[in-house]
Amino acid sequence: MNSEESKVESRPVFKCSSFINANKPANKKRAWKSLKQIISTERSLPWPEDHIHYSSINAPPSFLPAEKFSDLSGLPAPYTDPQTRLRFANKEEYSTLLTLPMDITAGYLALRGASSIVG
């Protein structure tokens, strides 16, 4: 019986109905800040020179080569067509690449951001 009574008596603060948050104004709605506003506010604060925060962290360059994906399916592509420079994953995709007209091939290269050697 004592353990049940002690559970009832020791209620957390957030369960207390008489608790009032002193930081929250009673009649004002909370104004949300955008990410740009938060970043500009953080940049304007006087940070020490050696302080590390999110806007100061720079990732080092990767030593691994960039992954290559198929232009048609998005699968990892170990092969590149020497004539059109399109990447493909298997022989079915290669047979599809051979039937594509030049304007579609140029469109795939433009989507990938490669310079069009075809046209």
Is the Cβ–Cβ distance between 97 and 107 less than 8 Å? no
What kind and span of H or E run contains 88?
A: strand 87-88
Q: What is the CA radius of gyration of the chain?
A: 30
User: Each residue of 72-114: pLDDT tens digit?
Assistant: 999 999 999 999 899 999 999 999 999 999 999 999 999 988 8
Say which DSSP state 89 is in.
S
Separation between Cα atoms, residue 14 and residue 7, nearest integer Å: 15
Separation between Cα atoms, residue 118 and residue 111, nearest integer Å: 14
pTM confidence score: 0.48
